[in-house]
Structure 1
């Protein structure tokens, strides 16, 4: 994964607003290309099992092509199936969609929102908590519960 490093100026309250003179000036380097899942994993907030479950869920989300698409597809036309399973491309896409839906169902009602936002959409935990109307710092615990159920679904030990 490519790194996109930028410098951000912070205050005690968070990112500095333009024209604000309060607080000490501090800068940090932020990697914009890093996903929220890899950020949590690299800092010890997610075990390997939970990280692997999130990556499997995201892979199924992408294989099923559930993200936003453009109106025109510019992919090259492939005649032969290159998949090791012998499935046609559309069959692989349908299988990934079925696995994705089943994994979200295994996580259960209320947990699928945080899974989709953080794992699939790449939304940060603070943004996900705010948009879901949850208290600050509650998302990490709920995300861990959801990923544990998804890991059980994918049979990750």
Structure 2
């Protein structure tokens, strides 16, 4: 008997278009962390962190940055002149690379390597700790900090927050009174 896959549908905005993407939570180390609970009963990573990491992975995949060992015979056909408007395949890949570059720059060099390893190359936390000679359970803490910074870059938050003060809607100068 096969085990059911843990699929979740998330919404991502790519090039101003909102799209629903189905992710396999068993495939991603982030999905594993999102399902696990700590001693306090809270998930190891928050929904906004999961969404930010999966959004990074979507851009990484669309940017065609996954390593290949052979030719890709499943690549989509290129559109001709009479096709529908929008980005060509190569333009979409270039746009995804630009978004990925901005995200990596926003999180900084401290977190970018770890985020790429875990979110994009799907390395487990133990493997990352072993490769970097980090103490056990260190990667989980550093990953959470990196995902927080990535979520902030994408404008994601676990709680809705309004402006801290009301914006000025109009401005009038005080009336000057002349000599009476």
Superposition TM-score tier, normalisation by shorter sequence? 0.7 to 0.9
Larger radius of gyration: 2
The alignment partner of 2:110 has SS state of coil
Whole-Å separation in 2 of the counterparts to 1:141 and 1:126: 13
Q: How large is the Cα RMSD of the aligned pairs?
A: 2.4
Gaps of 5+ in 2: 6-25, 37-42, 158-180
Distance 1:82 1:143, change over 3 A: farther
Gaps of 5+ in 1: 6-32
Deviation at 1:54, TM superposition (A): 0.3
Partner of 2:48: 49
Distance 1:154 1:138, change over 3 A: same
Deviation at 1:4, TM superposition (A): 8.3
User: TM-score normalized by structure 2?
Assistant: 0.64
Alpha-carbon deviations, 1:92-128, whole Å to 9, x = none?
1011111111111111112111101111111110110
Structure-to-structure mapping, 1:1-157, within 5 angstroms: 33-43=26-36, 44-74=43-73, 75-79=75-79, 86-157=86-157
How many residues get paired?
Answer: 128
Matched-pair contact (CA < 8 Å) for 1:3–1:34? no
Partner of 2:169: none
User: TM-score normalized by structure 1?
Assistant: 0.73
